[in-house]
């Protein structure tokens, strides 16, 4: 009792000043992070860990493209990939987003609203393509990812808002791997590993959530509107009770 904790699952809901949560879903919040950052930790960092380390099994020395890097999961992927020794490509849709991801350590930053950015990514990779891509908006980008991934490379599908047309021949020609991620499918062992590694990263200072806009609890519906309609993100939106 009295411990500072963060969580990613509640019994009573988290749009609240107080809440009930099963003890096994609470995790120690390192002193270096405030509660706003704690609120931005659970789902994004656990998802990033599952995508990169459990699904894609990233290795030091590989290249990673974060397609949509300035949102909360993207930021978590940047920090995780940097901590594991990858070369990190990232995209954002605004100058603020680009400034943010560069500050967070992306090696190669691209504006995904600029014509021809895919070509510049390929040139940067010396036309080999990138070893791994994490994709936040698959309905728009999945075929572009198939064009940019390396032979035997991996695309991890984290987000999508609709259907997409693709050419399965691109999957065959490169022997690409497309893997879906859904945090709630984690086995108990995987979840334990995920929590352990994320907590370790917060304690070492490598994983530090970035807060975007803050809202009062009364503004919750506005926050939902904004997350769907804002063209470029710069960190996690949080509700402050």
- Which residues here bind a copy of itself, judged by CB under 8 A? 55, 135, 138-139, 142, 151-152, 157-160, 162-182, 185
User: What is the C-alpha separation between 134 and 180, in angstroms, rounded?
Assistant: 10
The candidate with the shortest Cα–Cα distance to 133, out of 81, 185, 170, 184, is 81
Minimum Å gap between C-beta 109 and a copy of itself is: 25
Residue (14 or 170) nearer to a copy of itself, CB = 170
Is 52 within 8 Å of 80 (Cβ atoms)? yes
Residue (18 or 184) nearer to a copy of itself, CB = 184
User: What is the C-alpha separation between 101 and 217, in angstroms, rounded?
Assistant: 28
Residue (41 or 181) nearer to a copy of itself, CB = 181
User: What is the C-alpha separation between 41 and 202, in angstroms, rounded?
Assistant: 9
CA atoms within 13 A on the CB side of 44: 27
Minimum Å gap between C-beta 216 and a copy of itself is: 31
Cα distances (Å, whole numbers) of residue 167 to 27, 67, 147, 220, 226: 43, 19, 10, 40, 33
Residue (126 or 169) nearer to a copy of itself, CB = 169
Residue (1 or 162) nearer to a copy of itself, CB = 162
Minimum Å gap between C-beta 1 and a copy of itself is: 36
The residue to which tokens 């390929």 are assigned: 122
Residue (78 or 135) nearer to a copy of itself, CB = 135
Minimum Å gap between C-beta 146 and a copy of itself is: 9
Residue (122 or 178) nearer to a copy of itself, CB = 178
Minimum Å gap between C-beta 180 and a copy of itself is: 4
Minimum Å gap between C-beta 207 and a copy of itself is: 23
Is 68 within 8 Å of 91 (Cβ atoms)? yes
89-95: long-range contacts, CB 8 A cutoff, minimum separation 24: 89/63, 89/64, 89/65, 89/121, 89/124, 89/125, 89/130, 90/65, 90/66, 91/65, 91/66, 91/67, 91/117, 92/68, 92/232, 93/231, 93/232, 94/70, 94/231, 94/232, 94/234
Minimum Å gap between C-beta 149 and a copy of itself is: 10
């Amino acid at each position: 009792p009295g411990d500072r904790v963060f969580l990613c699952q509640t019994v009573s809901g988290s749009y609240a000043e107080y809440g009930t949560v099963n003890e096994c879903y609470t995790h120690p919040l390192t002193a270096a992070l405030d509660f706003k950052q704690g609120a931005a930790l659970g789902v994004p960092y656990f998802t990033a860990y599952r995508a990169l380390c459990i699904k894609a099994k990233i290795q030091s020395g590989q290249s990673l493209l974060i397609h949509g890097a300035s949102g909360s999961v993207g930021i978590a992927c940047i920090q995780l990939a940097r901590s594991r020794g990858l070369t990190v490509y990232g995209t954002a849709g605004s100058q603020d987003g680009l400034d943010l991801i560069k500050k967070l350590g992306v090696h190669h930053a691209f504006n995904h609203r600029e014509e021809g950015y895919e070509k510049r990514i390929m040139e940067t990779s010396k036309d080999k393509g990138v070893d791994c891509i994490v994709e936040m908006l698959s309905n728009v980008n999945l075929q572009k990812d198939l064009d940019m991934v390396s032979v035997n490379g991996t695309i991890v599908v984290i987000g999508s808002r609709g259907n997409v047309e693709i050419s399965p021949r691109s999957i065959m020609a490169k022997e690409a791997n497309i893997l879906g991620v859904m945090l709630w499918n984690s086995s108990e062992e995987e979840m334990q590993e995920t929590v352990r590694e994320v907590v370790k990263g917060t304690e070492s200072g490598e994983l530090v959530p970035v807060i975007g806009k803050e809202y009062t609890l009364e503004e919750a519906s506005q926050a939902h509107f904004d997350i769907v309609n804002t063209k470029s993100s710069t960190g996690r939106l949080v509700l402050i009770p």
